Structure 1
Amino acid sequence: MKLFLRFLFVLFLISCKKTESLSGNIQYEKEIENLTKLGKDAIVKIEEVNKIKINDSFSPVFVEKSELIKDLNKNKKNEEFFLVIKGWAIDPQENKPLSKLFIKVNNTLFKAEYGIVRKDVLDENISKSGFECKIPVSEFGFLPRQISVICINSKKNGYYENNDILWISVVEKKIKSFNNLKILENIDYCLDTINDSLVYKITNKLSIDSSKTRFLSFSGWATDPEYSDLAGGVYIIFDETNVFQALYGLKRIDVAEHFNKPQYMYSGFSCLVPVEKIGKGKHSLKLYILNSDYTGYYVAKQKFIVEIY
């Protein structure tokens, strides 16, 4: 129940700031409501989230609570924790810096500091294209979120909207090794699909044509029945050593209704694994599921051989 109570606490914090957030969001929305939405995307590169380097846009970013940035809140009465997103963006039509940039999370706009000088850019016309956006964790929450970027163009008569460009998830812990954790005997879970194919229809072997498929996608749900709580996380394991952390905390109304437990509402998981990171040949596939207090993990009974050719 610990995670569910924490989630309720986050919702409480969000509701306390509702008026402040809503007014800020309305103000930012008014800045773009009379502008023309431009047909193409801005050129945007997110490079860093809380000092975690971003190598690609399809791998989710997991930020541990200990990695959150601590700072004074707006009223300077107490400390607050933030996600800090950094990168650069330019106007693709004018090849110039933009006018303004916002990060959009869960239909809320957060204004970024834009125009930061980038010393790595030699072209002076676009050197002031860096941005930094601070998002309070009390407003971001502890569920996986997709972020979008909205930019007002250099002429200030239109805006670009780059939707769902990166997943970010704030997690209690990032497990670097399972060696010191106990192996559990009981976890409720279901791996529903692999590459949109229902798992119960898949035999022990899954064949992937690497010329046609760039990613392996997994989806399902998991809970910790011992504490009637959410699991601590889900990991996809190839060949015992190649570990991919799944996004955990996705909405699963069906699971909450089936068990008649509202705390299971956000027990869903998904994982996107680049085929090139696995390599051609036959590979073993397992699921590890953490318990809610991160002291142990369950090895899913379902095991597959994935052959990539």
Structure 2
Amino acid sequence: MTADRRPIALAGIGKIARDRHIPALEDSEDWSLEATISRNSEVEGIESHADIESFLEARPDIDTISLALPPGPRTAYAEAAIRAGRNVMLEKPPARTMAECLRLEALAAEAGVTLFATWHSRMGHAVESAAARIREEGLVGIRIDWREDVRKTHPRQDWIWEEGSLGVFDPGINAFSILGEILDMPIALREVSMEIPSNRQTPIAADFAFTHPSGAEISGVFDFRHDGDPLWDMWIETKAGRFALRDSGSRLEADDGDVPGNQSEEYPLLYRRLAELVDAGESDFDLRPLHHTADAHLIGRRSIVEPFDW
């Protein structure tokens, strides 16, 4: 660790940690990865701990922890870290339920630590440009197309099908997070239909529609059964024309000019934001994306479909 980089620990060394978190930390000017927490995986050259309790006891000098483990155990890890006076960054979703989120928020406020609920797609290069267009031109409608092949994006990750996880809403919540960033009016789900494999607990596909205060039409589809490269797109119509927000907010395509970008920027920007929050002694804990997801399960119609196997 260099003098100007602060130590951080990373809990959960799975696919998202290796694909996104670790590369971002290796290149970070703010953070130095000093320890990992995982029952069955390690990072070469980095001190490893099997559980949160052993880490907290061994490393009181590391005051910030990033939690990239699945939603099931994440809340218990976050609570333990907060009670020990550590700052916590949470992979999405921040917890399994809204009640758990509110408890974490209250604990962090009482402990005086930073709590950061990350929504990585909001860091997409073109999200700010899309928001500006909607504000300036007025919204007519948004059609969300969020489809991927779960066998490629979450290979053999059975946790995504378990109770307490989100199924197709795990990537779909990224679309909800972008909506919260580009819209300047509150929206609410009006109707939802979900398809659930007969041998699984969570949806493999969903269709949905929102209400918008101005009457704008917002609807979409999430689907894990897509054959091909992932589609993470929003087709947006304003009173001045149409444009597309592509690749989970990383690119904007419009007749009057494109905004290029790539998803490799998202996690470095999240860790930069974490440094800003810790420096300021503040938290960033927006729960709207999870709120929409919870509402989907409250009002959604459920259809049982063919079983899913890897």
Q: Which has the higher strand share?
A: 1
Q: Which protein has the larger Cα radius of gyration, Structure 1 or Structure 2?
A: 1
Q: Where on the TM-score scale, by shorter chain, does this alignment land: which range?
A: under 0.3
Q: Scaled by the length of structure 1, what TM-score is found?
A: 0.23
Q: Which has the higher helix share?
A: 2
Relative CO higher for 1 or 2, CA cutoff 8 Å, sep ≥ 6?
Answer: 2
Q: Scaled by the length of structure 2, what TM-score is found?
A: 0.23
